Structure 1
């Protein structure tokens, strides 16, 4: 019997996840991708594969202790693929449907080959390929009860958001789409839902939240505000592994946010060493595909 997808929100107990890999990291970045970065993002030198593997090993060990089933991508043999550290961007799940994302960049789309063997164990009837002229990446999709927050920025377009709205209707998924314009790489770099009514938010990085018709939406979440320095260190880009439990970066620019989550909101925060993937713009949420 084929497995079924089931992602309802960002904070339920994580059962199965694809974790990025340090395998195949090239010494030089994808220059086309680098040229398309927003002004707020900085791409440093490619991370050292051995150090990156150490970071991933720490995450893997912690996940296994929590009883999470961890899947790993196969290495994609292509000179165009510079790394496979961030599977979140190449696909995403909403309820019972897996959406294969489409990027402007060939290197990101080729990465999907590395997880196709994993997806083959799931129901094919619940997998949707995005058209080639539609651009929407998984880092721009954040779930909450009855809602899908979708980022509008460098990697995802309004056309992509409208396509997603049509797909949700077609698959009878009753969720309100909330569009969040932003000036960072992906939405989860500035907005992330970590509990039923709680979100991490760099409000300096976002414009007005609106519905699919452009009408302003008031945020009905309690928010932990993140400043620009904390955002640049990807303090919002945590991974919720269960109610009140997160993986967060052990970094001095993330300490204040982590302390607040821990002390005020009583979360258990796994502060893990994770510096290599952030060097190329991602962190815990980017590096995982539930």
Structure 2
């Protein structure tokens, strides 16, 4: 049996699901785009192709091998984008919680059923239908659970709004002993630089006390201030709108000391090194064209 354990974003990683770019399917049509960034590249004719994305994901896998992390990969579904395993489920403490995702992504969950079968059945949770929640919006920080959401009246019209208040309240009820704090995120179906698709697109902790943040990713300044007060201004690396677009906050921690980052994130990577982190740089810029990066491609199962 798999004994799940995840309490934060940075403790030493022992087991993870890493997506796959194999048999990724054709370039989507404009009508089928899930987010404004993908739409940009579809229109420009520069949407990423499988041959460029597979080596990026394998570079990530090689880093996991270096640090002796047990890696599970999804079973292959022909012509299906299975890169972003963070979207389909997430672990809080020792519970595996399935996301209620866009209906045409259900089969992505079936591709990791062999992993789910190794988990105690009482620990596998399927939320009720009205709950919308995706793993990119759920961030664990010890006694806190941070959740990205969208509180605008136009929620139903925004394909980029992925987690609703039913999702937030579901987690509050499930974990009454945690501080569950939701953040109202900036959304746009059409302008990628104005869209925080998930919470990890505008914020993520690193180490034991630091974080990467984009102020404009939050609709309410009070939400941004909550994180500044919690982490301390001097511990936060502020990213620009362009840096958010390139997904600077979507790095991935293998331990409190080791961060996997995109090799082009020079300003961030220098800051991390100045703060005594080991930075494992890999190429991931093709995958980023789909408005997802390193955290989005992973679903941690066990952290020490």
The interval holding the TM-score normalised by the smaller chain is 0.7 to 0.9
Query: Any gaps of 5 or more consecutive residues in structure 2?
Result: 151-160, 187-195
In the other structure, the counterpart of 1:167 is: 174
CA deviation digits over 1:214-263, x for unaligned, max 9?
xx776311311111111111000000001121100112xx2111111111
Q: Distance in 2 between matches of 1:136 and 1:226?
A: 25
The C-alpha deviation readout for 1:173-212, integer Å capped at 9, x for no partner, is x21011111121111010111122211100111133779x
Say if 1:180 and 1:210, in contact at 8 Å, map to a contact too: no
Q: For 1:162 and 1:267, locate their aligned partners in 2 and report how far apart those are by CA, in whole Å.
A: 35
Q: Equivalent residues in 2 for 1:185-204 (5 A)?
A: 185-204=197-216
From the two aligned structures, give the one with the greater helix fraction: 2
Query: What does residue 93 of structure 1 align with?
Result: 91
Matches within 5 A, 1:236-255: 236-251=249-264, 254-255=265-266
For the residues of structure 2 that align with 1:56 and 1:182, how far apart are their CA atoms?
A: 28
* SS of residue matched to 2:65: helix
Which residues of structure 1 form unaligned runs of 5+? none
Match of 1:137 in 2: 134
Distance change >3 Å, CA 126–CA 158, structure 1 → 2 = same
CA–CA distance in 1 between the matches of 2:181 and 2:216? Answer: 18
Q: How many residues get paired?
A: 273
Change (3 A) 1:141 1:64: same
Q: CA deviation at 1:110?
A: 2.4
Q: Give the TM-score of the pair, scaled to structure 1.
A: 0.88
Aligned with 1:199: secondary structure? Answer: strand
4+ aligned runs moved over 4 Å, structure 1: 30-33, 39-43
Using a 3 Å threshold, how does the CA distance of structure 1 residues 210 and 133 change in structure 2: closer, same or farther? Answer: farther
Q: Which residue of 2 aligns with 1:178?
A: 181
In structure 2, what is the equivalent of residue 58 of structure 1? 59
Matches within 5 A, 1:33-52: 34=33, 37=35, 43-45=40-42, 46-52=47-53
Give the Cα separation in 1 of the matches to 2:71 and 2:54: 15
